[in-house]
A and B are shown apart, each in its own frame.
Chain A
Amino acid sequence: MGLLLEALQEAWRLLVTGDGDVYSITLRTGAITGISTALSALVGLPVGLALALARFPGQRWLVALANAGTGMPPVVAGLFVSILLWRSGPFGALHLIYTPTAMVLAQFLIAMPVIAAVTAGAVMALPPSLHLQIRAMGAGTVEYLWLVAREARLPLLVALMAGFGSVISEVGASMMVGGNLSGETRVLTTAAVLEVSRGRMGTAMALGIILLTLVLAIAFALTIVQQRSQRR
């Protein structure tokens, strides 16, 4: 009990005094996860649409693959990106290992399949007459995709939340490709792990609380958007 109390006290102290390090770590976490989620959405949404709507041989397998991708172990993604970006790897010359860019890459590999799979599921759940009606109204391919995406916008929001959630709390890949470098690639999760290994539970707890708050805030905002558009 004493440890928990002490940890909470430390957490409070750090948050209230506005520790500069914690502040920059938080901003960096938001930026990296924000960019990787945005990129994942940029690619994942169209991929999900294509998976659901296009007709091609092996479509079912590809959808299964996307669904499997939602279970991608972050550590595997981290390992894969590391192998690519290490000096000994094919892209070593780019010197991207242990940079925020590498972390965005790894997080992209984790979040993109999530967004694609949930999008595909959402679009496939739309009533078939809707697809027919949109095409019957004279929609070309682009207009069709736009209208379908618009019809499924609420589940697509869920897809975004799922993608975001899958990377904001991720630590294995971030540690591996980012190196947890102070001032450069240290994010809330990797910093918390470091503090735990150093025995500084209070600081670790504080970082955890901040992370939770960040996640809650985003989830709250997106849920409000969702509720407002909800059919009542």
Chain B
Amino acid sequence: MRLRSLIVSFAVFPALLVAACASAPQAAPSATPAAAAATPSPTATAVKSSGKELILATTTSTQDSGLLDVLVPLYEKQTGDKVKVIAVGSGAALDLGRKGNADVLLVHSPAAEEAYMKEGAGINRTRVMYNDFVIVGPAADPAKIKGTKDAAAAMKAIAAAKAPFYGRGDNSGTQAAELALWKGAGLDVPKGQAWYHETGQGMGPTLTVAVEKDGYTLSDRATWLSNADKTKQPVLVEGDKALFNVYHVIPVNPAKFPSVNKTGAEQFRAFMVSKDALAVISTFGKEKYGQALFYPYTE
């Protein structure tokens, strides 16, 4: 009697399993409403499947922008390859590459990337695109940085005013840029000071924290466009060259890690600077935000 009920409840799990298996084959990704309508025709060059899965390590901001939701399916359609997009911070992505746990990287942390290349962990580092960082903050702007053209000067003003600032603190490309700005302002990283905070999280949550606490933060424009309340958290500083955010695609060095999918990695690298990819990149976001989120920036 009771035993039967126990068996029945156990049957719930296998039933779910069977149902899930039935629907597992479908690998349709969620269609981002903001995706550009552009569906470029496949290039004439014959691309073949590398036969293996491709692990692409990239950053959370790249994934959150939604760009990869368009690019990756396009690539998969062209090559028949399966791409696994693992979104972590730039630092973590580079680390995956360093240990050979990914096949190709798409990151935006130039200083760290150079160190990475020096270690010989990657090959054929190729510039793909850029977008920019913006300093955003409360509309009241207590540090009075609105309209400043010099990003470093703006950071100095924030420090002087001891205005609350929220950094990523997660080894990401954005954090690297932030640290470079402090350095450029001639300041030590304000870690430990009462007005300086590190969220340890991605850009979206960091923006949320900053706006709740009336603080300043450094964000990439794409995430700001898609996440932030523009009136509550406006852009205060933009356009400085120091705020450029450059993306590179780096295949992991197969000589160092024989188990990487070197054909697939190279194919993906080539794809990222191909006409089709660049077409997608240059139009992505225009419809939803009125401006493109990324700009092609090939060598």
Contact = CB atoms under 8 A, between A and B. Distances in A.
A135 interface: no
Interface stretch (A61-69, A85-93, A108-116): A85-93
A24 B23 contact: yes
B122 interface: no
Contacts of A87: 99-101, 257, 259-260
The 8 closest A-B pairs by CB, nearest first: A34-B13, A31-B20, A199-B227, A30-B16, A183-B27, A197-B204, A229-B2, A88-B99
A198 B20 contact: no
Given A35-B13, A157-B6, A218-B12, A179 B84 contact: yes
Contacts of A93: 259
Contacts of A183: 26-29
A138 interface: no
Interface centre among A37, A86, A181 (most CB of B within 10 A): A181
A35 B17 contact: yes
Contacts of A97: 101
15 contacts: A21-B30, A27-B23, A30-B13, A30-B17, A31-B17, A34-B12, A34-B13, A87-B101, A87-B257, A88-B100, A92-B101, A98-B55, A157-B6, A179-B85, A182-B30
A187 B20 CA distance: 12
B139 interface: no
Interface in B145-190: none
Contacts of B10: 38
A31 to B, nearest CB: 3
Interface residues of B, number: 48
A125 interface: no
A27 B2 contact: no
Contacts of A98: 55, 84, 86
Interface in A94-110: 95, 97-98
A6 to B, nearest CB: 12
Interface in B183-206: 201-205
Interface of A is mostly: helix
Interface of A: 20-21, 23-24, 27-28, 30-32, 34-35, 37-38, 86-88, 92-93, 95, 97-98, 150, 153, 157, 179-184, 196-199, 218, 221-222, 224-225, 228-229
A87 B62 CA distance: 24
A28 B228 CA distance: 31
A41 to B, nearest CB: 8
B298 interface: no
Interface of B: 1-3, 5-6, 8-10, 12-14, 16-17, 19-21, 23-24, 26-30, 53, 55, 60, 64, 69, 84-87, 99-101, 201-205, 207-208, 226-228, 257, 259-260
Given A183-B27, A183-B28, A198 B12 contact: no
Given A37-B13, A196-B204, A222-B9, A179 B86 contact: yes
A153 B6 contact: yes
A78 B145 CA distance: 43
A98 B85 CA distance: 10
A76 B5 CA distance: 35
Nearest to B24: A28
Contacts of B260: 87
A93 B260 CA distance: 11
Nearest to B20: A31
A221 B19 CA distance: 19
Contacts of B26: 24, 183
Given A87-B259, A198-B64, A222-B9, A27 B16 contact: yes
Given A28-B20, A179-B84, A184-B27, 5 more contacts: A27-B19, A87-B260, A198-B64, A199-B226, A225-B9
A171 B52 CA distance: 28
A97 B57 CA distance: 13
A107 B248 CA distance: 35
A161 to B, nearest CB: 10
A225 B2 contact: yes
Contact of A225 (B6, B201, B204, B228): B6
Nearest to B208: A199
Contact of A38 (B13, B20, B55, B202): B13
Contacts of B85: 179, 181
Contacts of B202: 197
Nearest to A176: B88
